[in-house]
Each structure stands twice: as C-alpha cells, then as structure tokens.
Amino acid sequence: MNRERVHTSGIDRRAFLSAGTAAAAATLLAPSGFAQTQHFALGPEPIRYPSGVWKVLDPRFNKYMIGNTPLVREWTGGLWAEGPAWNGVGRYVVFSDIPNNVQMRWDEATGKVTQMRAASNFSNGNTFDWQGRQIACEHQTARVVRYEYQGEPTVLAATFDGKRLNAPNDAVVHPNGGGILFTDPGYGSHWHYEGTVRELELPTSVYHIDGQNGRLTKLTDEIMKPNGLCFSPDYRILYVADTAPTHHPNEKATIIAWDVQNNGARLTNRRVFATQDVGFHDGIRADVDGNVWCSTGFGGEGIDGVHVYAPDGKKIGQIVMPEGTANLCFVGKHRNRLFMTSSQSVYTLYTAAQGAHIT
C-alpha cells in the first residue's frame, strides 16, 4: 500500500555496519531485543537462542514460540514488498514489489528469489483460488485479474456502477462457491510510485466477486481505508485492516470484523476487533486457533513487525522486525513458517502456529 502522509522521521536510521564478509554489504541494524551490537545480512541472525524477535505480551503466546529457530532474511533489494501468497503445489511464494512493477517468486526448495512476472501493472495483493490459479490486485489498471493455466490474465473486476475501481489492494477466496472478496482503498491512485495518480471515483469499499457468474457486489463502504483481509478458520468472520491514518490523521488504525453470510456474499454485525495507537496493521492472516497475525509498519523500532491478537481481540505477542512489515502468509507443508514482506526485504521464521488457510 502507499504511504503518503506518513511521517517516518522518528524511525531510527543508524548506519549499517560491516559484518566482516563480502555478504555483509547488505547488513542492516537489528531492533531492540536482538543481542546487543549484532547485525546480520542474508541468512539467519547470528545471535544466541532464543531469538530476541519474540515478544510475549500474554502467556497465551508462549505456545506459538520456538526457542531454537532464527529469523532469516531470505532476500533484499526491493522498494516496497507486498502481497505474498503461498502455492503448495509449486512450493513457492509469489509476492509483489510494487514500485518496481514486478512480481517475485521465492522458492521453498532452493531459498532463491527470482523475478516471476515483469510489468505486473503495479500489482499488490495476491492469492490463489481453489483451482490453483493466481489472483492479483493491480494498482495501475485498477483491476482484479486471474491468471489462467497458460498464464494469460482474465479480468474479474474493473468497474462498479459504471465507474473505475480505485486500486484493488488485497483479496481472499471463500471455499464455498469460490467467491472472491477484495479491498479497494485506492493507494495505487495516490502516487505514481505505486500506480497512476487520479481522482477516486468510488467510495473506499470491500467487494465480492461471485465465483459462479462473476457478478460484482459492494459488501461495505463503512471503512476508511480497507487494506489487508482474512477469514477466521471457520470462514464465519471476515477481518479487514483499516489503515485510516494515512489519509485521516485523526483516526486510529483498526481491524474491523464482520460476520460472514451467504458464503461471503453478505457481511453483518460490524464491530472493531482491535485498535493500533502507533503505526498501523496492513496484511493479516489467521491461524488454526483463531489468532490474527498482523503485519505492522511505520510504528518505529520495537513496534514494526508482526502483532498477534487472540480471538477475543487482545494483543498477546509480537515478532519485532528490523524493518517495517507490510504483509505476511503462512507457508510450507504444515503452514507453520511465517513468510514476511518487510519493506525492502523478505524474511521467514518458523513458528509453533499453523496457518488456518492455504494462502
């Protein structure tokens, strides 16, 4: 998502230090909670176990920690990494580097990151439908597209009530009927950096694409900047991150919850699930226990990373990251490895949690 109007002058920007090897050209400063004066480049953090990235706020979070696993910086070199989605068949994650207008591919088997699709129309969020086809939200064209088995895109949504969509951001797919829910906050229309500047023609909203007939329905516009979204494990609740402070400075960042009706075609019982006072949550994913894992950025050192909320809305833990984190997903055969797109880099961390859904 775009970050205009967000002030980052308070974020510590201490100089990178050499780690003594050729690879150390890519080192970055670790946040508080890491072993003092330790810095790391690509690969695991060279510190003692347990890693200082784990931060327990409630005893319920202890069960999801692994004491003898490192945070691994898998790749760096992006401008703003977003939209990761796990493909279990191919054992890879597709993610977007929005300003560079490319989709990238992290291979679980080799650990390598390579370019997957250039000129991606400044795509942001990605997911896979229940037939294994990639769904992408495009900023520049203001479309939701599906890549068919031979790779050609099919446009699923581009207009509503005769007006162009703002700039679709993130999407999820319901298992019953294959309906696609997506957010349309318009970040790709605010800066040329992440799309094309133009006036928004529609209210910022959450939409539903019928999986059978393709009909587009607006589910709600009772949200200022709808961003990342996910279902609860049983698909009965939809959570949507509202990054309102980027354009409404008097508002707090929140996560809004709705009850899901008609296989995702209708939302009811709107309520605030969680509120973030500093920084804001972007991409979100649920685990099998119903906890919501929220990527978090622009909060500064000790806040940026991943915040975890129990089903009752209480924050129970954090993963403190060395970069602001825009999005995340659970990957691997058991969906117990967290993949995080964090500003210019992507990271992985094994957890004792298990992602609720395939992507």
Confidence check: pLDDT of 47 > 90: no
The confidence band for 152, taking pLDDT boundaries of 50, 70 and 90, is very high
Confidence check: pLDDT of 191 > 60: yes
Return the SS3 of 19: coil
Q: DSSP letter string over 299-327?
A: S-TTTSEEEEE-TTS-EEEEEE-SS---E
Q: What is the mean pLDDT of residues 173-196?
A: 97
| Through-space distance between the first and last CA atoms of the chain, rounded to whole angstroms | 19
Q: Which helix (H) or strand (E) holds 184?
A: strand 180-184
What pLDDT score does 278 carry?
95
Confidence check: pLDDT of 29 > 70: no
Q: What is the mean pLDDT of residues 222-246?
A: 98
Which domains are seen in the chain, by residue range? 69-350 (2.120.10.30)
Q: What is the mean pLDDT of residues 20-24?
A: 37
DSSP state of 25: G
Confidence check: pLDDT of 3 > 70: no
What pLDDT score does 358 carry?
80
Amino acid, res. 4: E
Confidence check: pLDDT of 10 > 60: no
Mean pLDDT over the full length of the chain: 90
**Interior/surface letters 263-296, b for 16+ CB within 10 angstroms, e for the rest:** bbbebeeeeebbebeebbbbbbbbbeeebbbbbb
Give residue-wise pLDDT tens across range 75-114.
999 999 999 999 999 999 999 999 999 999 999 999 999 9
What pLDDT score does 183 carry?
99
pTM of the model: 0.88
What pLDDT score does 21 carry?
37
The confidence band for 44, taking pLDDT boundaries of 50, 70 and 90, is confident
Confidence check: pLDDT of 24 > 50: no
Q: What sign does the CA torsion over 16, 19, 25, 27 have?
A: negative
